[in-house]
Amino acid sequence: MLRRLGKKDPQKYLPYFPERVTTFVDMFMGTGSITFAMLNRAKYIYANDNDKNVFNLFMVVKNKREELIESLKLLPYHEGVFNYWKEHEEIDDVWAATRFLMLSNFGYLGKPDSLRFVPSASKTNLLSEIVSFNFIENIQFMDSDFRDVISKISWREGKKATNDSFIYADPPYLGTINNYQSSFTEDDTRDLFSILTGSGLRFAVSEFANPIVIALAEEHGLYVHDLGERRNLKNRREEILITNYQPQRRQGSLFPSEGAAASTANKQMNTDKKERGEKLAVSRQQTMRYKKSLTKL
Ligand SMILES: C[S@@+](CC[C@H](N)C(=O)[O-])C[C@H]1O[C@@H](n2cnc3c(N)ncnc32)[C@H](O)[C@@H]1O
């Protein structure tokens, strides 16, 4: 429903997540792609994002879906409206959600710069997606800074046990330019790791193999999993998943083991992994240099 930078494909991440959890927290929900994929694995779900537009959109979809559908039906798919909304916010929650959907869905490259006209970005597609969004009733949406999320959740007795709950944190990548409302700094990243390790809960963090991030993972004694390259028009970067538990990865599309196609895929994967391993090693060397530079200060 929401087109937004950094949207994650659940198939890539869920094999690393616990099979069953009582409480799942998506600390930086964005489009909610991971939140929704966890619906059948978790009993209680909390989805947080400090972007007021993201929060408002999901609250409207949850509580005023019919009104949103009506407002989208009335919406002219027109450059004039798009340009007006680039400059003006809406106060009414349903219109604010309509505005946000138009800017994020119909903006060229997902940015609210100019309207694009392509068949996949049609109002009909969007409407049919929203109509089917009746599965979010049990999700608790939050619009807090990530630092406040854990303390704001009313953990049911015993549910906070390490083996019972799970937090996924997908912050804006450190050191990258994005078009979110706020940027993410090195201090934010430090706070995130301290809060997560201090919580005593199982967690996974998505990041790029950035020397500062790897150093923090090492400092906190965490597992670093290489997820391969993530590309956009300008960059190719090594993506990692950091966990405080050893994942029980299920055999599946990620790790094919049978048949000729699988064996070719395995060979390719091993070559890719070797190359990626070398790149991660380079990152570790950078980390060592970074640590040394810190001790000199
Ligand atoms: C990489 S995106 C998350 C993408 C999401 N996993 C998905 O699949 O769509 C990061 C999100 O964090 C939110 N964010 C940025 N700073 C935050 C903060 N301090 N506290 C909570 N959320 C924040 C942004 O608004 C953005 O939606």
141 lines ligand 1 (CB under 6 A): no
Does the structure show a pLDDT above 50 at 252?
no
Q: Is the CB of 180 under 6 A from ligand 1?
A: yes
30 lines ligand 1 (CB under 6 A): yes
Same domain for 150 and 230, yes or no, is yes
Domain annotation covers residue 180:
yes
Is residue 13 over pLDDT 70? Answer: yes
What's residue 178's pLDDT?
Answer: 63
pLDDT digits (tens, 9 = 90+) for 150-181: 999 987 655 555 568 999 999 998 876 665 65
| 121: in domain | yes
Q: Is residue 138 part of a domain?
A: no
Q: Confidence band (pLDDT; 50, 70, 90) for 98?
A: very high
Residue nearest to atom 16 of ligand 1 (CA): 182
291 found inside a domain: no
User: Residue 100: its pLDDT value, please?
Assistant: 93
How many domains would you assign to the chain? Answer: 2
Hey, which of 29, 178, 179 would you mutate to test ligand 1's pocket, going by the most ligand atoms within 8 Å of its Cβ? 29
Q: What is the CATH number of the domain that holds 29?
A: 3.40.50.150
Q: How confident is the model at residue 258 (pLDDT cuts 50, 70, 90)?
A: very low
Tell me, what's the pLDDT at 277?
Answer: 61
CA distance 177 to 281: 25
**Pair (78, 214) in one structural domain:** no
Domain-ending residue, one of 107, 131, 155: 131
d(CA 21, CA 45): 10
Choice between 156 and 185, residue whose per-residue pLDDT is larger:
185
Residues 40 and 180 in one domain: yes
Do 178 and 218 share a domain, yes or no? yes
Task: Please check whether residues 209 and 102 belong to one and the same domain.
Answer: no
> What pLDDT, on a 0 to 100 scale, did the predictor assign at position 12?
95
Verify that 35 and 148 share a domain, yes or no.
Answer: yes
pLDDT band at 83 (very low <50, low <70, confident <90, very high): confident
State the DSSP string of 178-232. Answer: --SSS---HHHHHHHHHHHHHHTSEEEEEEE--HHHHHHHHHTT-EEEEEEEEE-
- pLDDT category of residue 232 using cuts at 50, 70 and 90: low
pLDDT band at 121 (very low <50, low <70, confident <90, very high): low
Could you read off the pLDDT of 38-72 as tens digits, one per residue?
999 999 999 999 999 999 999 999 999 999 999 99
- Domain check: are 225 and 87 in the same one? no
99 shares a domain with 38: no
Residue 254: pLDDT over 50: no
| pLDDT band at 205; cut points 50, 70, 90 | very high
Q: Of the candidates 109, 131, 153, which is a domain's last residue? A: 131
- pLDDT of the residue at 269: 45
Kindly indicate the confidence band of residue 272, based on its pLDDT and cuts at 50, 70 and 90: low
* 81 and 185 both lie in a single domain: no
Q: CA-CA distance, 97 to 92, in Å (whole number)? A: 9
Angstrom distance (rounded) from CA 204 to CA 183: 21
Average pLDDT value for residue range 7-26? 94
Same domain, 126 and 150: no
Which residue, judged by its Cα, is nearest atom 7 of ligand 1? 7
As a whole number, mean pLDDT of residues 278-282 equals 59
% of residues, the chain, pLDDT over 90: 51
pLDDT given for residue 168 in this prediction = 98
Q: Last residue of some domain: 91, 110, 131? A: 131
Query: Is the same domain home to 38 and 63?
Result: no
Q: Is the C-beta atom of 110 inside 6 A of ligand 1?
A: no
Say whether both 221 and 159 belong to one domain: yes
Answer yes or no: is the C-beta of 7 below 6 A from any ligand 1 atom. Answer: yes
One-letter amino acid of 199: S
On the 0-12 / 13-18 / 19+ scale of CB atoms within 10 A, 177 is exposed
Per-residue pLDDT at 69: 94
Whether 286 is covered by a domain: the verdict is no
Q: Is residue 282 part of a domain?
A: no
Residue range 241-255: average pLDDT? 69
Task: Report the pLDDT averaged over residues 213-226.
Answer: 96
Residue 90 is part of which domain span? 57-131
